[in-house]
Amino acid sequence: MTLPEIIKFVIDLLAVLLLALGIKGLSKVKSARDANRLAAFAMSLSVVGLLSYYLGTSGITIQSWIWIIIGSIIGSLFGAILAKKVPMTSMPETVALFNGCGGMSSLLVALGVAIFPISSWSLINQVSISVSIFVGAITFTGSIVAMAKLQGWLSTPGWAQSKVRHFVNIVFAVASLIAFFNLINGNTSSIWLLVIVSSLLGIGVTLPIGGADMPVVISLLNSYSGIAAAAAGFVVDSQLLIVAGAMVGAAGLILTQVMCKGMNRSLVSVLFGGSLSAQSTASSGSGEYTNITSCSVEECALTLEAANKVIIVPGYGLAVAQAQHTLREVTKKLEQNGIEVVYAIHPVAGRMPGHMNVLLAEADVPYEQLKEMDVVNPDFPATDVVLVLGANDVVNPQAKNDSSSPLYGMPVLDVQEARTVFVIKRGMSAGYSGIKNDLFDLPNTSMVFGDAKKVLNDLIGELKDLGVGEK
Amino acid sequence: MSFINLLWVLLLGSLLGLELIGKVPPTLHTPLMSGANAISGITMLAALTCIVKAEGNVPLLIIGSVSLGFALFNVVGGFFVTDRMLAMFSRKPSNKK
């Protein structure tokens, strides 16, 4: 081993160790922020290691430096700007976009090496290039579709909801396989076929998936981008790339599984079941509301004032209305009046697991007040008032009582056990699942219609008139 | 490095990834996904290798450079966004009397 090789070897080893510690630390609240920085440091270390190795061996030409600098500056600049500017509510879309670009990067490297071979062309090379192109393309188009759907730029077209989609996707998949084997057999012209059909496959597979399942898909695509990175590692013969890619791929898979569990969906039904609403309208579309009680903000304020214990159930509607700060003001008033306030966070509240925690933390809600579902569920019978803000499916008692419901078996918050439930909602529209919510029909439930932010603002006014929190 | 050795690396890396994330509180799912996503931008090393080994082949230089741009977009953006999310969790004690 020469000196540059030894140096690179040591740096790579250190980088892998730090990356592993980083991922590990990211799974604990206390260490998460430092762990993220540690991982970022490990990544920069790996770049230094690689560049110093080439400087010590073959050298790096001025021309190469120029292209390295151009690519780095443009990529980092756009990434940093987007990361600083993007609102917290669109976090899932942002992660999807970043992820897609990672896939694109693997795809491009493999393409470049395939067209202009940098080392001798071996079978292993061909296999890894093909895998890299295939997975990279699916990751890219799939992530972009996921992002567009979450942003509302794209809705599910009719054919993607019908059975036709399975046929279409099977055709794409078979075509990718044919191109794949052609390429391995040395027929380099099928490379473009592989790029095109695997891109189409990524679109075809992601397009039918409903909004509620999108986080699972993003997590899965994240896992794919790790696999794509590992494949690119085989292409350029880098162990560091293979280890890091494999770690992300495996960790992403576990995370996907955890998310599926939280939503009571199997990965298979997420991927091939299409959007839940499309199949369920037939079975439970007949459900009409018979016993809706609506009430004014004033009544809501009066009930809140008399309460001892209040539980807030925030949902995505709250985030869309950007009402988390207003909500915080309401709860501050209640707390000043000696009322105990707790936030009940369903594992899939918001659009991604943990998304709601991020949004509430942004509004300075103390971390201790955020309670997870299993912790808070036994508390509901002893609770005076529950405020449901823009949440729907996660508080549907059907999931417990009605075995014919598509939601049956999904873990939900038992808000109906509380003395009074206020549901702040814009209208009677159904949640993501498109399923009727039996909660709204219960005698202890009152609906407060209106935009979450406006209702909360009115609530602050009413509470002020009642002298709550003025002491 | 022989292919077989690289396969060993792949296997052990995957096992490590499976073990690393045992119990994650739901709070951290989004930041963890975003952080892991940033790490998957490690393909930037492949892009760099491509550029260095291009030996004046301009199309390959361009492909490598674009690939490097995409990868760094993923890495830099991913780490910043994760940090932004996690920064919100660490502010917690200021509000408690």
pLDDT (tens digit per residue) in A61-112: 899 999 999 999 999 999 999 999 988 878 888 999 999 999 999 999 999 9
A to B CB pairs, distance under 8 Å: 390
Residue A125 pLDDT exceeds 90: no
pLDDT digits (tens, 9 = 90+) for A151-210: 878 777 777 667 777 888 889 999 999 988 888 887 778 889 999 999 999 998 888 887
Q: What share of chain A is helix, strand, coil (3-state, %, to 5)?
A: 65, 5, 25
Cβ neighbours around A124 below 10 Å, total: 14
Q: Give how far A269 is from chain B: nearest CA, Å.
A: 21
Supply the DSSP string of A16-45, one letter for each residue.
Answer: HHHHHHHHHHTTSTTTHHHHHHHHHHHHHH
Length, in residues, of chain A: 471
Q: Please state, in angstroms and rounded to a whole number, the distance separating the CA atoms of residues A306 and A468.
A: 10
Q: Please state, in angstroms and rounded to a whole number, the distance separating the CA atoms of residues A92 and A233.
A: 27
Residue boundaries of the structural domains of chain A: 1-85, 88-274, 297-465
Strand, helix or coil at B90? helix
Tell me if chain B has a CB within 8 Å of the CB of A232.
yes
Q: Which of A24, A71, A367 sits opposite B69 (nearest CB)?
A: A71
- The more confident residue out of A411 and A344 is A344
Q: Which of B32, B62, B73 sits opposite A98 (nearest CB)?
A: B73
Interface test with B, best of A81, A101, A263 (most B CBs within 10 A): A101
Q: Please state, in angstroms and rounded to a whole number, the distance separating the CA atoms of residues B70 and A167.
A: 33
Give this prediction's pTM: 0.81
A393 labelled catalytic: yes
Cβ neighbours around A189 below 10 Å, total: 9
The interface predicted TM-score (ipTM) is 0.90
pLDDT digits (tens, 9 = 90+) for A265-293: 777 777 776 554 444 443 444 456 777 88
Q: Which of A71, A118, A354 sits opposite B29 (nearest CB)?
A: A354
CATH C-level class of A297-465 = alpha beta
Catalytic residue among A12, A213, A393, A414: A393
For residue A431, the model assigns a pLDDT of 62
